[in-house]
Structure 1
Amino acid sequence: MSRVRALLISVCAAGALACANPASAATAQREPFGTLADGTVVEAVTLTGANGVSARIISFGATLQAFKAPDRHGRIADLELGYDDLAGYVDHPNYFGVTVGRYANRIAGGRFALDGKSYQLALNDKTNSLHGGVRGFDRLPWRILSVKQGAAGASVTLGLTSPAGDQGYPGAVQATATYTLDDKGSLTIDYDATSDVPTLVNMTNHAILNLAGEGSGDDVLGYRLTIPASRYTPVDAALIPTGELKAVAGTVFDFTQGRILADGVRDGRDPQVVIGRGYDHNFALDAGLTAQPKLAARLEDPVSGRVLEVLSTEPGLQLYSGNFLDGTYVGKGGHVYRMGDGIALEPQKFPNAPNQPSFASARIEPGRPYHHRMIFRISTAR
């Protein structure tokens, strides 16, 4: 019996870890990660599949702290930009791998109306509310509700209570995030939320990834990206969608047949690239809002051979080419992160949807809960 398996069995027997089948290929290991200033203990759960893929989730921000996978030669690297310890996530936040909510992306002026009543949110992006406000879901300790492993994979479920009025939002929200890793290289993230009154919820994961490895020194601009979206939402100078759904055909935003990121990320002839300092835009996925996850993006690194497919039930995908990584963030292993060192592919409702009636609604209410399933599926091409 391996030392890891023996440890898992002993921990399960002690009741600290919920294990459906300790002999299964996919395993889950729970351990301390650090302590917040108020004494709250932050924990980490590492999910490991049979093919060498693993995911480490920490309870602060329900964060994907590490995402490791083999390249075409079997060499394993951590693809997730981030920090080695809790202090980095607390003191130098940059949304690395976090769960963002209540509302992912921007709400113009931090204002919206619901059932005839106006609400003002906390502002943390100049004059806008970004990713839930000053203390969004990414800045809070979540509770680990369960840890499991079995034939269907290894998983961890985390929970968070967001009281009425939190960051200006109405309603008391109970949110959960469940990460499940199977033995085929798929990391599924299920986001669920309920509320006691009508409110807004729009959650996603803000992983910033480098398929060559977060400290490889190789940027992501040579990757080939495919997004099945024939339209995107142009933005104004504050990165707020104008309300237009613009055709991507004939522009550097056309990823329908695949495009090398470097072909457009510095094309100053397109005013949208200038505004975003690269790509920082939402794409209206052709499939729209779906009951089952569909392909939202495919990212290919020709050097390592790693391929990442992002699937989601949501109607939009935010493409962020790491434009604001400016060398001031020192991450894992002392690596300095600069523009192009990572890319985020964030499935979600459209930015500022509460103020654009033509966009898919982010409203939930009693009896109509929120659910978003997204999948990071990693593989290799020969």
Structure 2
Amino acid sequence: MKKTLMAMGLLGTAAAVTTPAEAASVSRAPFGQMPDGAAVEAITLTNASGMQARIISYGAALQSLLVPDRHEELADVTLGYPTMAGYLAKGEFFGATVGRVANRIAGGKFTLDGKVYQTPLNDGPNALHGGSKGFDKVNWKVVEVKDGPTASVTLRYVSPHLDQGYPGQLTVTATYTLDEQNVLGVDYRATTDRPTVINLSNHAYWNLAGEGSPEGAMGHILTIPAEHFTPVNATLIPTGEFRPVAGTIFDFRRPTRIGKRVRTSEEQILFGKGYDHNWVVARDLSREPRLLARVEEPKSGRVMHVFSNQPGIQFYSGNFLDGTIVGKSGRLYRQGDAIVLEPQMFPDTPNQPAFGSVRLNPGQTYRNTIQFRFSTVGR
């Protein structure tokens, strides 16, 4: 099935040429088992131009994403494992839904309505991505699949009161969609029965050259339309400062090759062994998704725009991929082989009022709407 992809600017998208008979489709298949024998499912969304997203119920994770290049050749652009064994042995958050609170909480501790809550410390002295058994390590329930112009799957997880130390029973849904414009959507929603904190995101590792490509992701060209970032201390907790990016290696307002400035003695880079920071695109939530980042891979021509209603985006340059993981291609994943772009509220927000609020009350609905818009550019 042919597709015409248009070269695009910072805000453009590519249009798919299809016939009326062509439509996105959904298929379901077993993917493996949990240690207790529960079945893990794989749901595959395919559009008329051949783009294909596979989501697994374990971690409500994006397990693979086939995307065409400028010559309409497909490649899997996300890191991951071919079987459940890898995810259970060393998950690394590949493609996963992370929460209840994505990113880091200092000391794993926060106060809500005068009560102190303690979550597991799974990142040195801090909590990361919800704790030692966050949403990435549970088997979600598939509650709905849909064919049609936009294929979709909705997964649900009910997190009990004091799960990983967080208050409130939280009911969460993750809906993945794939349309004929090559837009992969991830829509997170949640409700609670008592006040709690929440900050969900998706932790896909991207290599637009293909996850088995030997070039890695340091040649990708990145744009982040943010004038500030949040510097961190030695354990990667934000200091509370909103630091201007102007004149620093954190200035991605113009398209910049990622690897150009990542090897440096800059203290912030040494703390994270590369980029592992939050960029401040805005200070508040938006009603509609807005542009948070653009990534281009020159060789293939693939381009990805990241949109979300969230104000921040965590850019992580794959610093802790250490050559001990064998991925879907049979290759070892090494430092810099992929990047992560997580739309979210700012790290450690429960402890830093100046960052805003991640509080969710009964009767409210939390929502993080993410769009990964794919296209190509010519030589």
Measured against the shorter chain, the TM-score band is over 0.9
Match of 2:113 among 90, 112, 115: 115
TM-superposed CA distance for 1:200, in Å, is: 0.6
Amino acid at match of 2:251: D
Could you say which residue in structure 2 is the equivalent of 1:33?
A: 31
TM-superposed CA distance for 1:23, in Å, is: 6.0
- 2:346 corresponds to 1:350: yes
In 1, Cα distance between the equivalents of 2:22 and 2:363? 37
| Correspondence list, 1:27-176, <5 A | 27-151=25-149, 153-176=150-173
Could you say which residue in structure 2 is the equivalent of 1:366?
A: 362
Could you say which residue in structure 2 is the equivalent of 1:309?
A: 305
Q: 8 Å contact 2:211–2:329 — kept in the other structure? A: no
- TM (norm. structure 2) is 0.93
- TM (norm. structure 1) is 0.92
- 2:304 corresponds to 1:271: no
Could you say which residue in structure 2 is the equivalent of 1:4?
A: none
In 2, Cα distance between the equivalents of 1:215 and 1:240? 32
Q: What SS does the aligned partner of 2:259 have? A: helix
Match of 1:228 among 225, 235, 249: 225
Q: 8 Å contact 2:282–2:312 — kept in the other structure? A: no
TM-superposed CA distance for 1:78, in Å, is: 0.3
TM-superposed CA distance for 1:120, in Å, is: 0.6
Could you say which residue in structure 2 is the equivalent of 1:217?
A: 214
In 2, Cα distance between the equivalents of 1:37 and 1:357? 40
TM-superposed CA distance for 1:52, in Å, is: 2.0
Amino acid at match of 1:89: Y
Could you say which residue in structure 2 is the equivalent of 1:380?
A: 376
Gaps of 5+ in 2: 1-19
In 2, Cα distance between the equivalents of 1:375 and 1:89? 25
Could you say which residue in structure 1 is the equivalent of 2:179?
A: 182
Could you say which residue in structure 2 is the equivalent of 1:204?
A: 201
Q: 8 Å contact 1:239–1:276 — kept in the other structure? A: yes
Q: What SS does the aligned partner of 1:150 have? A: coil
TM-superposed CA distance for 1:224, in Å, is: 1.0
Amino acid at match of 1:44: A
Amino acid at match of 1:211: L
In 2, Cα distance between the equivalents of 1:187 and 1:85? 23
- 2:336 corresponds to 1:340: yes
In 2, Cα distance between the equivalents of 1:267 and 1:259? 16
Q: What SS does the aligned partner of 1:358 have? A: helix
In 2, Cα distance between the equivalents of 1:23 and 1:115? 55
- Percent identical among aligned pairs is 55
Runs of 4 or more consecutive aligned structure 1 residues displaced over 2 Å after TM superposition: none
Amino acid at match of 2:182: G
In 2, Cα distance between the equivalents of 1:306 and 1:23? 27
- Root mean square deviation, CA, Å: 1.1
In 2, Cα distance between the equivalents of 1:157 and 1:320? 27
Amino acid at match of 1:222: G
Amino acid at match of 2:115: K
Structure 1 residues 154-192: Cα deviation after superposition (integer angstroms, max 9, x where no partner): 000000010001000000000000000001110010000
In 2, Cα distance between the equivalents of 1:267 and 1:293? 34
Amino acid at match of 2:198: V
| Correspondence list, 1:233-248, <5 A | 233-248=230-245
Structure 1 residues 46-67: Cα deviation after superposition (integer angstroms, max 9, x where no partner): 0011122110000000000001
Deviating more after overlay: 285-294 vs 224-233: 285-294
In 1, Cα distance between the equivalents of 2:222 and 2:341? 10
Q: 8 Å contact 1:51–1:184 — kept in the other structure? A: no
Q: 8 Å contact 1:28–1:147 — kept in the other structure? A: yes
Q: What SS does the aligned partner of 1:88 have? A: helix
Q: What SS does the aligned partner of 2:354 have? A: coil
TM-superposed CA distance for 1:258, in Å, is: 1.8
Aligned length: 359
In 1, Cα distance between the equivalents of 2:231 and 2:91? 27
Match of 2:324 among 312, 325, 328: 328
Structure 1 residues 99-147: Cα deviation after superposition (integer angstroms, max 9, x where no partner): 0010000000000001111111111111111000010000000000000
TM-superposed CA distance for 1:287, in Å, is: 6.8
In 1, Cα distance between the equivalents of 2:344 and 2:372? 14
TM-superposed CA distance for 1:264, in Å, is: 1.5
In 2, Cα distance between the equivalents of 1:318 and 1:245? 14
Could you say which residue in structure 2 is the equivalent of 1:318?
A: 314
Gaps of 5+ in 1: 1-21
Deviating more after overlay: 294-303 vs 324-333: 324-333
